[in-house]
Structure 1
Amino acid sequence: MQSYSRYFPSDPAASGWGWRILDTGRQQIAPQAKYPDAEHPLSYLFDSNGRRSLDEFQIVFIEAGSGVFESENVSMTKVTSGTALLIFPGEWHRYQPDANTGWRESWVGFRGADATRVMHQFFQSKQAVLKPRHSQEIVELFDRLLHWSQQDIVGRDQIAASHISLILAFLKAESPERTQPQCSDAAIVQAAKAAMLQQLNQRSDLEALAQKLGCSYSRFRFAFKRETGYPPREFENQIRLNRSRDLLLHNHLSVSETADTLGYSSVYYFSRAFKRAFGSSPQQWLKEQSELGMKQNLT
């Protein structure tokens, strides 16, 4: 497949249309290939930390292969074939294909009054990873969008831009979040908490847990953050550390025994996490609790 990309010049006739297409393209990234392609304009390249921030909306659709995505509001998430990534203006993000598989991606960047209204009313940057059921229809829409973007005709930009709202309609109507209306976010989070508490000696497979609870990982993570204030992994780490204080103080386990009981790979990593969470090392915290208990007994 030959890669194609186009960056559109400013068009006064298109600016009042409500949907203005800024850039679009499709590329095949071979396994072990460098990513992204250095031929893109500098403003679209990732920085030395692998991040970038754009002043436009983008839809990136992964047609084949796999990789990862992370943004200001989404933790590192695995991306597979048939996944759509939503990019919001001003929010840092990064994504790349797996070196072992590569991937094929199509994308479109856009702005406009109607585009902004639709994106803010119907989509959220916290749910930027979507897995629509009708991926073939989205691929076909990109085929048509890319076709019209290459035509030298009056109204080309408006014709190409008209496909963006259709792609978004498929993403909104067909996203997995809409297939589980009977299961509330609160119920999902309550069940996830129970599962985490049952196996504090090991890290949960969060994607598998979300699947077991009948929802997508993007919905699972969004629900968890909204209900608890924490992403699921951070919440799990916090309850493990809270449990460690019980084991140290009431079960009288040593620091080493506590780290082992809770599945930490070493005492060093446990102590570092404990101090980051509570401001003192486990030994210092135990000493403080002992001194506090002595003062209370004296009074």
Structure 2
Amino acid sequence: MEKNSVNYKYLVRSPRDIDWGITVDTVGSEPIPPNYPVYPPRTGHPDTFYFTPSRGRVLDSYQLLYITRGKGYFYTSPDTFIEIKEGDILILQPHVWHSYFPDKKTGWQEYWIGFQGINMDSRFQNNFFAKDQIVYHIGVQDSIVKLYEQAIQVAMEEKAACQQYLAGIANLILGMTMYYSQNYEFDNKATEQISKAKVFIRENLLKGIGPEEVADSLHMSYSWFRKLFKEYTGLSPAHYIQELKIQQAKDLLATTQRSTKEIAYYLTFDDIPYFTKVFKKYTGYTPQSYRKKFGRE
């Protein structure tokens, strides 16, 4: 996602899409900073999805709300709430009143995907998910964040059969929620810390973060974080960050007309010669030769 871009989309569905069994009506992500002025942000959400925490709302579709940073509160009635923390995913059911908001002290990072259809209805009718359970603790899973990001990209492009593609992603996130919630081990802190580190890196990649800042976000010493990260991923944190940047650079070179200079600065490289050196080290090509070979006309 580009800096300052709109990271959500609302979609329409055709009668043919409905026959597929699941249709997606919204997908997106939003970082809510500490001491935020208002929630949810008034940034163009339709009336059917917008709400004020004091009044709550009732949706006509399901929604998977995933919190990867911060904490907050979910209200099942005006007087009854559940505390939400990072690593929680909420399954919001249609035609049920609810409200939620992040803690002012922490804010939070939220991802959501909303959908409906007979295939989803059958999950509850067949008791795969308890009707009275809303919050599932699955930990911060980089693989699930990637699926949300993929869904946002597919929705933004809105190509033919995007509803079927999005339905597959929504169904996969739902299945992974069931898998992780049933198999999550609270003593497996190291695995969750690495997953949280990956998510933090992906969410802050274009801000020029370094490995030390990632370690600080986890309240770990850098030496211990580096050792743990490399044991679990096979890469040092610095190498992992560069790999993600080079992946984005390859995509931008192949699919856009941005100049090498624009791409280098967008990805927070200090100068073009350094960007060219790193790019060639990781790909075997200079940026210009890569675009010439793999660029799409």
TM over 0.5: yes
1:128 is matched with which residue? Answer: 134
- Give, as a single letter, the amino acid of the residue that structure 2 aligns with 1:160: L
Q: What's the counterpart of residue 103 of structure 1?
A: 108
Q: Which amino acid aligns with 2:21?
A: G
TM superposition outliers: structure 1 runs of 4+ over 4 Å: 176-180
> Could you say what the CA RMSD is over the residues aligned between the two structures, in angstroms?
2.4
Deviation at 1:10, TM superposition (A): 2.8
Q: What is the SS of the residue equivalent to 1:161?
A: helix
Aligned to 2:33: 30
Alignment match, 2:147:
141
CA drift of 1:74 comes to 10
Aligned to 1:215: none
Aligned to 1:193: none
After TM superposition, list the pairs within 5 Å mapping 1:282-297 onto structure 2: none
Residue 164 (1) aligns with residue 170 (2): yes
Match of 1:163, SS?
helix
Q: Gapped runs of 5+ residues in structure 1?
A: 181-299
User: Post-superposition shift, 1:104?
Assistant: 1.0
1:17 and 2:20 aligned: yes
Partner of 2:214: none
Residues 102-131 of structure 1 deviation map (CA, whole Å, 9 limit, x = unaligned): 111110110111111124431124210011
Superposed, 1:79-90 pairs within 5 Å as 79-90=84-95
Instruction: Give the TM-score taking structure 1 as reference length.
Output: 0.55
Q: Is the 8 A contact 2:39 2:52 kept in 1?
A: no
Instruction: State TM-score, norm by structure 2.
Output: 0.56
Deviations for 1:29-79, whole angstroms, at most 9, x for unmatched residues? 111221012221112122573311111100000121111112259941111
1:17: Cα distance to partner?
0.5
Gaps of 5+ in 2: 187-297
Please tell me whether the aligned partners of residues 124 and 131 of structure 2 are also in contact (alpha carbons under 8 angstroms): no
Which of 6, 10, 20 pairs up with 1:7? Answer: 10
User: Quick one: distance in 2 between partners of 1:73 and 1:124?
Assistant: 22
Is 2:180 the counterpart of 1:174? yes
Change (3 A) 1:48 1:139: closer
2:65 aligns with one of 18, 36, 60 = 60
- For residues 152 and 91 of structure 1, the distance between their equivalents in structure 2, rounded to whole angstroms, comes to 29
Work out the CA distance in 2 between the residues paired with 1:71 and 1:111: 21
Number of residue pairs the alignment of both structures matches = 180
> Which has more radius of gyration?
1
Q: Secondary structure at the match of 1:59?
A: strand
Contact 2:33/2:107, CA 8 A, preserved across alignment: yes
